[in-house]
């Protein structure tokens, strides 16, 4: 399944996906913009800066999610009965909209995130503040997952993936940790730490299977196919997760992707966040059918409606496509 997801990503790059380097721009921009806030939370509350940044990137889609843009909510924290501030209704895993906390600024969101973990839910997460070093980002990542912060099965690995790939451990003076290793560091760092591409390069050493797995999770933000915003359904995600993250109803997502039920999509599938086009605008004129292709999967790959492809090629949804057959895209 992992191979299938990677294949779809690489294939989509031929028809409009941003390259990995281009897509990383949003992550680099997020890190440089909010690293100081993360360091402040570490100094004030003992919340590890690398973990805070990784959570912010993951939960907010590198600052690009609809919830973050409308509510300054970088961590997807719901309102709950204790919240006395403004709320914002957005789609979640539930079949109805949930209430999320609204903040006046990103700084307020970061502060509330630390307090949410350390004080508001001290019985659940407090042990990490007591028992784990701020440099033990692996322990924090698995601790958050174990304590119920997220239901996605690969949540801890995703956080570690961001931290390792972008060397976020250097922000607070830490070092890269291998599985099963911890790190005790006492050196002081300055607030002038800058995060730049030249500083944070991917290690040349051979990557472990886990690092290869989580590296794929770092592509988790919006890109385009045929001028239409889309993303990919990643391990542990559901259509409801995507609906919440981008503040789009699940009904609309089903409509945009021309499917009837959430069960019709699986890990690695392209998910459009807006209606597909009735015309292909790329430079490619034709497409050769490959093993496993359907009219639907091709329409997803190129960001056009099934009706457009069907009419253009004199086909219907139930026609079997022969491998090697040339389909017109224009």
Confidence of residue 198 (pLDDT cuts 50, 70, 90): very low
Total domains present in the chain:
2
Residue 267: inside a domain? yes
240 and 92 within one domain: no
pLDDT(11) > 70:
no
What is the residue range of 113's domain?
Answer: 20-217
Q: pTM for this one?
A: 0.57
Predicted confidence (pLDDT) per residue in 167-186, tens digit: 999 998 888 887 754 443 33
150 and 45 within one domain: yes
For the segment 209-232, the average pLDDT, to the nearest whole number, is 61
Q: Domain with 249 in it: what CATH number?
A: 3.10.350.10
For the segment 267-296, the average pLDDT, to the nearest whole number, is 89
Residue 90: inside a domain? yes
198 and 67 within one domain: yes
263 and 209 within one domain: no
For the segment 103-122, the average pLDDT, to the nearest whole number, is 96
Q: Domain with 114 in it: what CATH number?
A: 1.10.530.10
Residue 164: inside a domain? yes
Phi, psi torsion values for 80, nearest 5 degrees: 70, 170
Examine the fold and report which residue of 182, 217, 252 is the final residue of a domain before the chain moves on: 217
Residue 289: inside a domain? yes
Predicted confidence (pLDDT) per residue in 141-162, tens digit: 999 999 999 877 788 988 998 9
54 and 165 within one domain: yes
pLDDT confidence of residue 73: 95
Residue 5: inside a domain? no
Residue 2: inside a domain? no
Contact 217, 211 (CB under 8 A): no
252 and 187 within one domain: no
pLDDT confidence of residue 240: 82
pLDDT confidence of residue 18: 32
247 and 183 within one domain: no
Q: What are the structure tokens assigned to 26, written together?
A: 């949003």
255 and 175 within one domain: no
Q: 3-class secondary structure for the chain?
A: CHHHHHHHHHHHHCCCCCCHHHHHHHHHHHHHHHHHHHHHHHHHHCCCHHHHHHHHHHHHCCCCCHHHHHHCCCCCCECCCCCCCCEEEEECCCCCEEEEECCCCHHHHHHHHHHHHHHHCHHHHHHHHHHCCCCCHHHHHHHHHHCCCCCCCCHHHHHHHHHHHCCHHHCCCCCCCCCCCCCCCCCCCCCCCCCCCCCCCCCCCCCCHHHHHHHHHCCCCCEEECCEEEEECCCCCCHHHHHHHCCCCHHHHHHHCCCCCHHHCCCCCEEECCCCECCCCCCCCEEECCCCCCHHHHHHHHCECHHHHHHHHCCCCCCCCCCCCEEECC
269 and 191 within one domain: no
Phi, psi torsion values for 116, nearest 5 degrees: -60, -40
209 and 116 within one domain: yes
CB neighbours of 25 closer than 8 A, spacing ≥ 6? none
Contact 330, 315 (CB under 8 A): no
**Share of residues in the chain with pLDDT > 70 (%):** 77
pLDDT(164) > 70:
yes
More confident of the two residues 41 and 225: 41
pLDDT confidence of residue 13: 38
Residue 239: inside a domain? yes
Examine the fold and report which residue of 181, 202, 217 is the final residue of a domain before the chain moves on: 217
192 and 111 within one domain: yes
250 and 163 within one domain: no
Residue 7: inside a domain? no
> What is the phi-psi region of residue 146: left when phi exceeds 0, alpha when psi lies from -120 to 50, beta otherwise?
alpha
* Closest to 55 (Cα-Cα) out of 179, 154, 158, 167: 158
Q: How far is CA 232 from CA 15, 179, 307, in A?
A: 15, 27, 22
CB neighbours of 50 closer than 8 A, spacing ≥ 6? 38, 137, 163, 168, 169, 171, 172, 174
Confidence of residue 213 (pLDDT cuts 50, 70, 90): very low
The number of angstroms, rounded, from the C-alpha of 253 to the middle of its chain's C-alpha atoms is 17
Examine the fold and report which residue of 158, 182, 217 is the final residue of a domain before the chain moves on: 217
């Amino acid at each position: 399944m992992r191979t299938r997801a990677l294949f779809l990503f690489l294939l989509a790059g031929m028809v409009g996906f941003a390259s990995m380097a281009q897509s990383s721009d949003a992550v680099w921009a997020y890190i440089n913009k909010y690293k100081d806030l993360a360091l402040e939370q570490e100094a004030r509350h003992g919340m590890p800066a690398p973990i805070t940044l990784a959570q912010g990137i993951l939960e907010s889609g590198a600052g690009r999610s609809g919830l973050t843009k409308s509510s300054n909510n970088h961590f997807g924290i719901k309102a709950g009965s204790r919240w006395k501030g403004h709320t914002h209704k957005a789609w979640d895993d539930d079949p109805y909209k949930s209430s999320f906390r609204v903040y006046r600024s990103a700084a307020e969101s970061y502060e509330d995130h630390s307090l949410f973990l350390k004080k508001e839910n001290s019985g659940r997460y407090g042990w990490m503040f007591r028992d784990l070093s701020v440099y033990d980002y692996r322990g924090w990542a698995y601790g958050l997952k174990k304590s119920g912060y997220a239901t996605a099965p690969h949540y801890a690995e995703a956080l570690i993936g961001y931290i390792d790939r972008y060397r976020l451990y250097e922000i607070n003076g830490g070092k890269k940790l291998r599985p099963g290793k911890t790190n005790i560091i006492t050196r002081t760092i300055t607030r002038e730490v800058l995060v730049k591409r030249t500083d944070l390069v991917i290690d040349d050493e051979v990557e472990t299977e886990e690092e290869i797995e989580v590296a794929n999770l770092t592509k988790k933000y919006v890109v385009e196919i045929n001028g239409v915003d889309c993303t990919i359904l990643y391990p542990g995600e559901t259509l409801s997760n995507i609906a919440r993250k981008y503040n789009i109803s699940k009904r609309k997502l089903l409509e945009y992707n021309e499917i009837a039920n959430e069960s019709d999509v699986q890990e690695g599938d392209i998910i459009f966040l807006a209606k597909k086009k009735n015309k292909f605008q790329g430079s490619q004129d034709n497409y050769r059918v490959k093993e496993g292709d359907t009219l639907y999967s091709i329409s997803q790959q190129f960001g056009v409606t099934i009706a457009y492809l069907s009419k253009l090629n004199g086909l219907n949804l139930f026609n079997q496509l022969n491998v090697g057959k040339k389909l017109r895209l224009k």
